[in-house]
Chains A and B, each alone.
Chain A
Amino acid sequence: MSDDRTERLSVLKTYKLFVGGKFPRSESGRVYEVTDHKGSWLANAPLSSRKDARDAVVAARKAFGGWSGATAYNRGQILYRVAEMLEGRREQFAREVADAEGLGKSKAAAVVDAAVDRWVWYAGWSDKVAQIAGAANPVAGPYFNLSTPEPTGVVAVLAPQESSFLGLVSVIAPAIVTGNTTVVVASERAPLPALSLGEVLATSDLPGGVVNILSGRTAEIAAPLAAHQDVNAIDLAGADPELARTLEEAAADNLKRVVRPQPVDWSADPGTGRLLAFLETKTVWHPMGV
């Protein structure tokens, strides 16, 4: 057999969006070039338009009833399953993270391990968050008075620009573990780990639409999401200060919950801040001794 016949043609991967459990191309048909930290070409990623954002919100809203209505135990199990699937793709994510962030092999692997651990950590919170954020309130009357945390609804998440995987996991997991559904705008410069995460989520029992992942220009996709009347909260982790200000103004129209951007060390203990940011408190009075 001659040499030229053993040489394979390279099979390049077409990265696609993850919306409603499916992998569509951008409605606009556009793509943009993704490069590694040195500027050499890695792949083309979809360049989402505002209509992709709209479709993603519709998918997220559709998924909200089922996901928020699932038992906390069940949500925890599914999130743990996601962590299992991530573990099985460690090498792929380590390679993508190394390309995106310019890390060495072992450092990139450590980042992926931290991200998987973080996912497991948040999965454990599913049936414990009510104990932290809820209360049995003493009241002056013969009533049980119980406050329980409930998910706020559809959360738009602008993923951190620099930490393409650990940061991404650290903003998605706390939003969905409590029963919210999300529309995630991946890091503009390094969207590939996010788009690959979509492939993991699709195969890990997570109902379609709970996480929807869009890639493209953050400012272009975030503007309609911030103004969208059917989005209940927005996490501005990936917005620069100027963009964040205009998004906050747009978000004020329907009183969205807003998490402002702030410098975060994604490798540090995340605390419960993001977990508690997307909850509403429901308080019920129940007559006692009847």
Chain B
Amino acid sequence: MPTTVPAYGAEAAERLASMADVTATDGALRRFLHGLPGVDAVGLQARAAALGTRSIKTTAKAYAIDLAISMIDLTTLEGADTPGKVRALCAKGVSPDPTDRSVPKVAAICVYSDMVATAKRALAEAGGSEVHVASVATAFPSGRAALAVKLADTREAVAAGADEIDMVIDRGAFLSGRYLQVFEEIRQVKEACRRTDGSGTAAHLKVIFETGELETYDNVRRASWLAMLAGADFIKTSTGKVAVNATPPVTLLMLEAVRDFRDTTGVQVGVKPAGGIRTSKDAIKYLVLVNETLGADWLTPDWFRFGASSLLNDLLMQRQKLSTGRYSGPDYVTVD
């Protein structure tokens, strides 16, 4: 197995270049993606369900709750977002429970690109500049816009200070088999993530598949490899805007793709399930999936994230229950 390098590092590009023959033409890429082993759907679901039955209690639960809080991309992606709401969310991300300073900060605040500057400023004011700002881009959530528009959207967000970019793939192109077009698009968006001010550090790129629209598990595996070959730093399940969002089987499948990709190329890529994860129980199930599939290397906010908004409140209530012994209630967390 080659030595491991992070997807956002300089060496990753060389490693990916060694795979250039499979991404040279549309035909080669299709042959490669369709040559990936098919997914055993029943086995995948059974495995995800079996891992969901693990009992995580007491100290392990306390650790898992704190870890999950530190992995949250606290998200607000509503048409009705206001600067005030984004500021409130930033304050919450920096100190999730104002009555308990031992609660860790969240990993990032996820907003639309026009709110990036607001979020950046609010985080600095709240004393949490280490909390990242993630911006959705590329005509989120549908991804239906011209490439120039998508790239401009991305550059705008990066210029405003976004640390991470969550892009959506063009599902229409993917489902009609134009894989190279999707590949090129991801590559160009990754290019647009570079900072123009010359500071060198590019924004990290998360690629959203919208797995609820990909129809089959085989497509999820293909999309995962496609995005990783194109240079994604993170692969993300969903936008949270469609009926079916992150599910344990789909996430398990993506975790396996990430594992296989590291075994092949040595490049480490992160995973972010998003949408529909609302309870601590769900979050802990996902952490079990990560630990059992990828191991402790991925059990950090650098390599695994939850895209969620209401999950944080449930984690805080569970944390209060563990520390006080009394069941908490929604009166003791903020209303977002």
B330 sits at the interface (CB 8 A)? yes
Report chain B residues within 8 Å CB of A228. Answer: 326-327, 329
**Bound form: Cα–Cα A61–B326 in Å:** 16
Report chain A residues within 8 Å CB of B331. Answer: 229-230
**Bound form: Cα–Cα A228–B330 in Å:** 11
Report chain A residues within 8 Å CB of B329. Answer: 57, 61, 228-231
Report chain B residues within 8 Å CB of A230. Answer: 327-331
A227 sits at the interface (CB 8 A)? yes
Report chain A residues within 8 Å CB of B325. Answer: 227
Among A61, A227, A230, A253, which residue has the most Cβ atoms of chain B within 10 A? Answer: A230
Report chain A residues within 8 Å CB of B330. Answer: 61, 230
Report chain A residues within 8 Å CB of B328. Answer: 229-230
Chain B nearest CB, measured from A215 CB (Å): 20
Interface readout for B306-336 with A: 1 if CB under 8 Å, 0 if not?
A: 0000000000000010000111111110000
Contact B326 A253 (CB under 8 A): yes
Report chain A residues within 8 Å CB of B332. Answer: 229
A224 sits at the interface (CB 8 A)? yes
**Bound form: Cα–Cα A55–B331 in Å:** 17
Report chain B residues within 8 Å CB of A253. Answer: 326
**Bound form: Cα–Cα A230–B332 in Å:** 9
Chain B nearest CB, measured from A57 CB (Å): 7
Interface readout for A224-246 with B: 1 if CB under 8 Å, 0 if not?
A: 10011111000000000000000
Chain A nearest CB, measured from B196 CB (Å): 50
A274 sits at the interface (CB 8 A)? no
**Bound form: Cα–Cα A2–B96 in Å:** 74
A217 sits at the interface (CB 8 A)? no
A54 sits at the interface (CB 8 A)? yes
Given known contacts A227-B326, A229-B328, A253-B326, what 15 new A-B pairs fall within 8 Å (CB)?
A54-B327, A57-B327, A57-B329, A61-B330, A224-B326, A227-B325, A229-B320, A229-B331, A229-B332, A230-B327, A230-B328, A230-B329, A230-B330, A230-B331, A231-B329
Q: Chain B residues in contact with chain A, CB under 8 A?
A: 320, 325-332
Q: Give 19 pairs: A residue, B residue, CB < 8 Å, sorted on A.
A: A54-B327, A57-B327, A61-B329, A224-B327, A227-B325, A227-B327, A228-B326, A228-B329, A229-B320, A229-B326, A229-B327, A229-B329, A229-B331, A230-B327, A230-B328, A230-B331, A231-B329, A250-B326, A253-B326
